[in-house]
Amino acid sequence: MQIKVLYFAQLADLAGRTEEQIEVSERSAESLYADLRTAYNFPHDFKQLQVAINHELSAHETPLEEGDEIAFLPPMTGG
């Protein structure tokens, strides 16, 4: 299943990109994040991040669908 991952802020810096297509076998956002964390050395625990799917905030356990765009959002620091 193809998923598009969007990276912001520190995660974009560490991944060296702002987005990428990933082939996943599980429908779990937590499992996907665990793989990305290992690959890019992200500092955050999954529960520290908010999850957005298709540009809407989503529950951490929302199952992924083919073609979803997912973003893992570090604590926001605007203002």
Partner 1 sequence: MNFLLTEQPINPTALREKMLSPQAGAYCSYEGWVRDHNEGKEVAELHYSSYTQLAPSIADQILTEAKEKFNVTAAIVHRTGPLRVGDIAVWVGVTAHHRGDTFLACRYIIDNVKFRLPIWKKEIYTDNSEAWIENNHCGCADPANLQIHHKHEC
Contact footprint for partner 1 (CB under 8 A):
6, 8-10, 12-13, 52, 55-57, 71, 73-79
7/77 Cα distance (integer angstroms): 15
Strand (E) or helix (H) holding 23: strand 19-23
Q: How far is the CB of 47 from partner 1 (least distance, A)?
A: 11
User: In the bound complex, what is the minimum distance in angstroms from residue 13's beta carbon to partner 1?
Assistant: 7
**What's 61's DSSP letter?**
T
Least Cβ distance, residue 31 to partner 1 (angstroms): 22
